[in-house]
Structure 1
Amino acid sequence: MLIAHDTNGLPVEAARDLPAGAFSCPACDGSMLLKRGQVKVPHFAHMPGTECWSEAESVSHLRSKNLLAEKFRQLGYDVQLEETYRDQGRRVDVAVTIPAWDRGSRVAVEVQDSAIDVETMKARTRIDRSLGFIGTLWVFTDKRAKVLLDVTGADIEVRIPNEMLWVDHRYRQGVFVLDLDAAAVWNIELGPPHVRISEWYDGDGYGQSSAYVPRTIRCPIRHAADFTLTSTPGRYPNEWAVVFARRRL
């Protein structure tokens, strides 16, 4: 984890110059150790044997959250890493408040570094809206979406995982991939229109059942984007799709 509570119960970031002290987990109140090193990302870790609903994360996941927070802050956004909501069992990877938007609109940015069940994504999106976020922006790491970065523009068939199909289907904006080493973000358009599996939606636009099957497509197209967040009307009433703005050529 990148965030812990100090002895006053206030959130502190592992990457900051912190004095020695006791730290606790925002999710379970368990004691945490601050770990720093030459190679690893500064982070907090639970004491051995601690049980907590908050998941452990990969190095690339931690690096991705740090990079996003840095880029958003450079743009003047108010950023809170790992904003935790205990009652909902939810930890938002990067919570962003954009002062220039209506009443300081808040966006939940979720980094995806591994496979995830589509129903879990729907549940998290639903919780985020209930918490007052205007939208959830899903960002895939270059580890999870490596195949898309490797073959964009080539006449090669690519198998698209369920979670990426769902993001493209729901928001119709392609998928966003974070290139960690280049500190860049890409918008991947999933090639020509492909067959999308039907899904029944309720009045709020949340699927009740799904039959997504990984699809094979050709020639995904890569567009350079920047870290500026913008919004566009979603597929359903009172819903907004939050995206990274494409770079102007």
Structure 2
Amino acid sequence: MLVALNEEKERVLATTALRKTQYFCPVCGKQVILKRGLKVISHFAHKHLAEQKCFNNESIKHYKSKLILAQMIQQQGCKVEIEPFLKEIKQIPDILINNKYVIELQYSPIPYKQILQRTEGLKKNGI
């Protein structure tokens, strides 16, 4: 995941996160750790692998694409949230723009039915 919550419940992007600080999963509230290095893009992971059911494992290409696209949209003056957890529908879209539009990047094949379910959930939430 690219975004976690700090102790004040503020959303923090992994690229700007500080080491030696506690972070928490925005979905389940469990502790996550910051992973940053030369071979991986900065991201958060659940401290215990058994808890890692909130987010799907995504490729580095997926993470990078989200960051680049979100930055480009933000530069156009839009309010952008990466990986917001929409409690009402229990969904985590890749990018939320102005609390009105969603962009989902799909690098791996998923059933069309799943795409429809996600879309319907977003529509019910006014997005």
Q: TM-score, normalised by structure 2?
A: 0.91
1:130 aligns with 2:107: no
**Code of the aligned partner of 1:119:** K
User: Matched residues in 2 for 1:47 and 1:19: separation?
Assistant: 14
How far has the Cα of 1:84 moved from its partner?
0.5
SS state at 1:44 partner: strand
**Code of the aligned partner of 2:18:** L
1:121 aligns with 2:115: yes
User: What's 1:81 paired with?
Assistant: 82
User: Matched residues in 1 for 2:35 and 2:111: separation?
Assistant: 31
How far has the Cα of 1:89 moved from its partner?
2.2
Task: Please identify which structure carries the higher strand content.
Answer: 1
User: What's 1:46 paired with?
Assistant: 46
Change (3 A) 1:5 1:128: same
1:29-44 → structure 2 map (5 Å cutoff):
29-44=29-44
Q: Deviations over 1:2-61 (max 9, x none)?
A: 000000111110011535311010111111000111231110011123242321211111
User: What's 2:9 paired with?
Assistant: 9
User: Matched residues in 2 for 1:60 and 1:71: separation?
Assistant: 16
Q: How many equivalent pairs are there?
A: 126
Q: Deviations over 1:159-179 (max 9, x none)?
A: xxxxxxxxxxxxxxxxxxxxx
**Code of the aligned partner of 2:46:** H
Q: Deviations over 1:112-143 (max 9, x none)?
A: 0100110000011111111121xxxxxxxxxx
Q: Deviations over 1:171-226 (max 9, x none)?
A: xxxxxxxxxxxxxxxxxxxxxxxxxxxxxxxxxxxxxxxxxxxxxxxxxxxxxxxx
Change (3 A) 1:64 1:96: same
CA RMSD of aligned residues (A): 1.5
Identity, % of aligned pairs? 29
**Code of the aligned partner of 1:84:** F
1:180-191 → structure 2 map (5 Å cutoff):
none
User: What's 1:246 paired with?
Assistant: none
Task: Please identify which structure carries the higher helix content.
Answer: 2
1:87-236 → structure 2 map (5 Å cutoff):
87-97=88-98, 106-133=100-127
Tell me, which stretches of 5 or more residues in structure 2 are unaligned? none
Structure 1 stretches of 4+ moved >6 Å: none
The answer to whether the 8 Å contact 2:70/2:82 transfers is: yes
User: Matched residues in 1 for 2:120 and 2:39: separation?
Assistant: 37
The answer to whether the 8 Å contact 2:89/2:122 transfers is: no
1:57 aligns with 2:58: yes
**Code of the aligned partner of 1:111:** L
Higher relative contact order (CA 8 A, sep 6+): 2
Tell me, which stretches of 5 or more residues in structure 1 are unaligned? 98-104, 134-249
The answer to whether the 8 Å contact 1:95/1:109 transfers is: yes
Q: TM-score, normalised by structure 1?
A: 0.48
1:23 aligns with 2:23: yes
